[in-house]
Amino acid sequence: MELALIIKIIVIVVIFSITLLIATYSTYAERKVAAWIQDRSGPNRAGPFGLLQPIADAGKMFFKEEFIPAHSNKWLFIAGPALAMLTALMSSAVIPFGKSIMVGENYYPLVGIDVNIGVLYIFGLVSLGVYGIMVGGWASNNKFSLLGALRAASQNISYELAMGLSMVAVLMMYGTLSLTEITLKQTGFNWTIIYQPLGFIIFLVCAFAECNRTPFDLPECETELVGGYHTEYSSMKLGFYLFSEYINMFVSSALMATLYFGGYNYPGWHYVYSIVTEHFGHATGHNVYVLIGTSVFFAKILFGIFFFMWVRWTLPRFRYDQLMDLGWKGLIPTAIFNIVLTGSAILAQDYFQFKGIYFAIYYGGVFLLIIGGILWSFLNYKKKIVLVKA
């Protein structure tokens, strides 16, 4: 029991440390990706290739003057960024980063908390995350901060609905709320993205909105709200808000990799397992195989983070009415359609006992949705032209 507890503590500390490390260097990668897209150098002064830039930024944040507005609610002003960081850091606890490692004769899972309601745990923390922004924006006693907090609340509530509905289809397929079991059912190349491309697109768009990333960064829109909910913040309180965004981006990428891209699974794992166990022996070979799977999982996460950054420096920001229209009139009806389509395809597959019928019904429905969307856009565009001419 003592050994199991020690290994569990080590796993939690390692996951926590890796989360902080990747989030820290995401700030460096953000500027390097922006520089690459905009044809400039990016950070290159602090350390070799600018690798010490995040350390320099952290030092700057720590030593900046601490400022609390005179008319603010002091305790809530302090609690806002702390709550944002707390919910962000707790989210990675249920994500399986690899198969169970072998120590002696026992196996220990590479997950902080292996619970059978991991999906509900994630959604509970996602819904609590908005309180950090709301509390900070309201406590600042500043109209720009309050407007940013209101935007954040309405945006998160709107896109949480579509995100939850998109995941319902995944739960229908696997019949479990455990992220570990969902990962195990995607062994090899049997990834969810093959069965749920429409659900993945909905989830991806909602992830951008939940992380307040461009083009959904309306709560902190500089051109309209100066800085939004964190306008009055300085020093490490501002750093906590900015850092929590990168942690949320890491967790969102990890969750997408787990739900839709097989997690630590990859094609040809049987061959790799036989090679490493034959070369290193059963126990050592098993652990080497687990570490390879964990490395593949982190590669998927890093690609997801890169995609977040790529979109930020490519697409312009939405207007707020467009943001709400997309959430309520676009994504939620599409997610409901995806649930109905998935249920129909699963029932047909179970009735006919033929796996191909699922793909025929699902992809046929997605094709009809695309055609309907194109026709609706065309008719709406023609209607606008008529109104302008009139």
Q: 338 and 386: one domain?
A: no
Q: 69 and 158: one domain?
A: yes
Q: Are 287 and 99 in contact (CB under 8 A)?
A: no
Q: 196 and 329: one domain?
A: yes
Q: What is the mean pLDDT of residues 165-180?
A: 89
- pLDDT band of residue 39 (cuts 50, 70, 90) is confident
pLDDT of residue 201: 93
Note whether residue 50 is domain-resident: no
pLDDT reading at 83 higher than 70:
yes
Q: What is the mean pLDDT of residues 16-26?
A: 85
Note whether residue 226 is domain-resident: yes
Q: 121 and 178: one domain?
A: yes
Q: 345 and 373: one domain?
A: no
pLDDT reading at 388 higher than 60:
no
Strand, coil or helix: what is 39? coil
Here the tokens at position 162 are 């579509």
Note whether residue 379 is domain-resident: yes
Note whether residue 314 is domain-resident: yes
Q: 359 and 287: one domain?
A: no
Q: 388 and 299: one domain?
A: no
Note whether residue 46 is domain-resident: no
Q: 310 and 368: one domain?
A: no
pLDDT of residue 3: 74
Q: 380 and 338: one domain?
A: no
Note whether residue 276 is domain-resident: yes
Chain centroid to CA 153: 18
Q: 193 and 119: one domain?
A: yes
Burial of 39 from C-beta contacts in 10 A (0-12 / 13-18 / 19+): exposed
- pLDDT band of residue 300 (cuts 50, 70, 90) is very high
Q: Cis before residue 316, ω within 30 degrees of 0?
A: no
Q: What is the mean pLDDT of residues 7-34?
A: 85
User: What is the pTM assigned to this prediction?
Assistant: 0.90
| pLDDT tens digit sequence for 278-292 | 888 888 888 888 898
Q: Number of folded domains in the chain?
A: 2
**C-alpha span between 94 and 22 (Å, rounded):** 18
Q: 302 and 361: one domain?
A: no
Q: 85 and 208: one domain?
A: yes
Note whether residue 288 is domain-resident: yes
**CB neighbours of residue 216 within 10 Å:** 23
Here the tokens at position 236 are 């490490």
Closest CA to 252 of 294, 302, 216: 302
- pLDDT band of residue 386 (cuts 50, 70, 90) is low
CA dihedral 283, 288, 290, 296 (to 10 degrees): -170
Closest CA to 216 of 87, 82, 327: 327
Note whether residue 51 is domain-resident: no
pLDDT reading at 211 higher than 60:
yes
pLDDT of residue 301: 93
Burial of 369 from C-beta contacts in 10 A (0-12 / 13-18 / 19+): middle
Q: Are 199 and 335 in contact (CB under 8 A)?
A: yes
Q: What percent of the chain clears pLDDT 90, i.e. is strictly above it? A: 16
Which structural domain, as residue segments, surrounds residue 388? 354-390
Strand, coil or helix: what is 187? coil
Here the tokens at position 361 are 């019904």
Q: What is the mean pLDDT of residues 172-190?
A: 88
pLDDT reading at 270 higher than 60:
yes
pLDDT reading at 337 higher than 90:
yes
